[in-house]
Amino acid sequence: MGAAGFSHEVLFYDDDEEFLEGAVPLLRAGLEAGEPSLVAVRRSRSELLRAELGEDGEQVEFVEMEVVGRNPARIIPVWRDFIERAEPGLTVRGIGEPVWPGRDAAELEECRRHERLLNLVFGRGREWTLLCPYDTGLDDEVLQLAYESHSHAHCHGSLIESPGWLGNGNRYAPFAGVLPPPPDDATALEFERDELSSIRQLVGRETAAASLPAARGSDLVAAVSELAANSVIHGGGSGTLHVWREPGAFLVEVHDRGTIEQPLVGRLRPGLEQDGGRGLWMVNQLCDLVQIRSGPEGSGIRLRMNLS
């Protein structure tokens, strides 16, 4: 098990049969014990589990990971809400699939950071088990890195201690590293307080030119406006904006001189009386992908909105 009651396990599977052999016993045990279970996997995986469980599957809660986990930063609140709904004293069980074939490199990197942060969030709390299936068709590097964030691994029917397990997250800097630079043809704008309206206008024009649906364009404008305001208030009074397009997506990046130190910022739903933390929460709810890198020299936050 992991630290203090949280067991974060990875299931490596080659095919549907191995997936079911690894996942179904966890759910069956919960059903027999009268303990709640939540399954957050791709729709195709959910259909397999429902068919295998039959009528018993009606007692298991299912959500589609393609929806709730499109932005990996939105997954932790799903698990927190589930645990808070469960009757005190009961062990709870979950199956979560943040990583699947078809995720691009940026999404996989954020999934890796998410998996590590789970240990920080839940490593000192209620007893529960989270099983994370990984299709062995994924790149070898992705599979190898999964050992670092999971205390135990299911491999071809055997449960082993994960080599390279990093523990409950204290050894992990979630905002470390740098993002690939924006392309040379990205639109750039340096801004201060007086340019916030110009930023909204620029992003609005660019999203319209990129044929981003109007509602999603408005969401992105709101998210960028929030980041720019944070730069002015908390990031040294100014910042730099980059806007560009990639195949199938529209991207915006904001840089400033501030440093982000709270590892779970934007991933925990803010309370009604909470001061701060609401801006990045909102940004994560609005955007398809949010990448944060921060250190002594400043912070960069990249937002992605898919065109479809």
What's the domain range around 130?
3-161
Token readout for 295 is 């250190």
Beta bridge partners, 92, equal: 128
Predicted local distance difference test score (pLDDT) of residue 125:
79
Q: 10 Å Cβ neighbour count for 184?
A: 6
Predicted local distance difference test score (pLDDT) of residue 155:
86
Question: Same domain for 147 and 7?
Answer: yes
Predicted local distance difference test score (pLDDT) of residue 1:
40
Question: Same domain for 150 and 236?
Answer: no
Q: For each successive 10 residues of the chain (308 residues), what is the average pLDDT?
A: 73 96 96 97 97 97 97 97 92 97 97 94 88 97 95 90 80 87 96 92 95 95 95 91 96 96 91 71 97 95 95
Q: What's the number of domains the chain is made of?
A: 2
Q: CATH number of the domain that 218 lies in?
A: 3.30.565.10
Residue 166 maps to a domain: no
pTM of the model: 0.93
Residue 169 maps to a domain: no
Question: Same domain for 18 and 154?
Answer: yes
**Distance between CA atoms of 28 and 26, rounded to whole angstroms?**
6
Question: Same domain for 61 and 196?
Answer: no
Task: Kindly list the distances between the CA atom of residue 201 and the CA atoms of 211, 232, 256, 282, in Å, as whole numbers in the listed order.
Answer: 16, 17, 20, 20
